[in-house]
């Protein structure tokens, strides 16, 4: 595959969509991956939230639809080096204001464009990406309400990361309820700690000029950086 391969320009015409009551809902992402102009790999992310759930049961990525997807076939179809299936996952948020672009149908699984991400080396090999921040580009605002639980990593530099989603990729038996005591399972690097808190005020995650900082733990659960320019306060 040459460096002329490009992902579709599906962020050309965007709108903001509001999703409330998403905590515990199941979703997945399809990530189309190709070289950027710099030669670095960039991912174009499509999210299933609000789709594929005609009965409103809270599962926007039914397992049969995920199981039938062939990433190699999709990559060939789009003429790009690779496609990554990021899911299923469970939201740990209460609401989202998401900037979305074009909706695509990935062999029966519908998903909307929502953001760009700098693809880390070792994607798909959790031991290589765990606890290593990456950069995402989006204008999405994410919220956890006053009185709701928040699951938090604190790193050795004094930065704080709040869990955005539970991963069912590495351990399909993970549950939302188990996040309270997740620290007992994580292989935390030296200087890192995990805590579960009940928020005493609304927390709003806000990108800094369209840039968010993101990381995963060793079980693939995903966190966003908070504090400073990345949220209204640091829990």
Encode pLDDT of 53-92 as tens digits: 999 999 999 999 999 999 999 999 999 999 999 999 999 9
Tokens of 190: 């030296």
The two tokens of residue 230 are: 């990345």
**Residue in the structure block whose two tokens are 């391969």:** 5
User: Confidence band (pLDDT; 50, 70, 90) for 4?
Assistant: very low
pTM check: above 0.85:
yes
Distances (CA, A) of 214 to 4, 66, 72, 135, 185: 28, 24, 26, 6, 21
- Identify whether the C-beta of residue 39 lies closer than 8 Å to the C-beta of residue 125: no
235 pLDDT above the threshold of 60: yes
Instruction: Give the residue-averaged pLDDT of 7-32.
Output: 95
Q: Is the pLDDT of residue 191 over 60?
A: yes
Q: What is the pLDDT of residues 203-222, one digit of tens each?
A: 999 999 989 999 999 999 99
Residue 2 has pLDDT above 60, yes or no: no
Q: What is the pLDDT of residues 138-181, one digit of tens each?
A: 889 999 999 999 999 999 999 999 999 999 999 999 999 999 99
Confidence at 1, pLDDT banded by 50, 70, 90: very low
Distance separating alpha carbons of residues 153 and 86, to the nearest angstrom: 21
Distance CA 75, CA 126 (A): 22
């Amino acid at each position: 595959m040459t460096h002329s391969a490009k992902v579709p320009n599906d962020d050309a015409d965007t709108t903001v969509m509001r999703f409330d009551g998403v905590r515990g809902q199941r979703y997945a992402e399809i990530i189309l991956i190709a070289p950027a102009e710099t030669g670095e790999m960039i991912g174009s992310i499509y999210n299933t939230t609000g789709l594929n759930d005609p009965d409103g049961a809270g599962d926007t990525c039914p397992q049969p639809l995920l199981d039938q997807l062939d990433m190699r076939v999709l990559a060939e179809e789009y003429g790009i080096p690779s496609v990554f299936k990021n899911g299923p996952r469970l939201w740990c948020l209460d609401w989202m204001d998401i900037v979305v672009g074009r909706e695509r149908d990935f062999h029966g699984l519908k998903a909307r464009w929502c953001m760009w991400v700098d693809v880390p080396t070792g994607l798909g090999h959790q031991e290589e990406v765990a606890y290593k921040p990456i950069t995402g580009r989006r204008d999405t605002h994410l919220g956890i309400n006053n009185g709701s639980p928040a699951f938090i990593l604190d790193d050795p530099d004094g930065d704080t990361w709040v869990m955005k989603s539970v991963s069912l990729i590495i351990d399909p038996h993970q549950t939302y309820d188990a996040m309270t005591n997740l620290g007992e399972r994580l292989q935390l690097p030296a200087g890192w700690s995990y805590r579960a808190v009940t928020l005493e005020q609304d927390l709003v995650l806000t990108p800094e000029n369209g840039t968010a900082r993101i990381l995963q733990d060793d079980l693939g659960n995903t966190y966003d950086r908070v504090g400073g320019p990345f949220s209204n306060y640091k829990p």
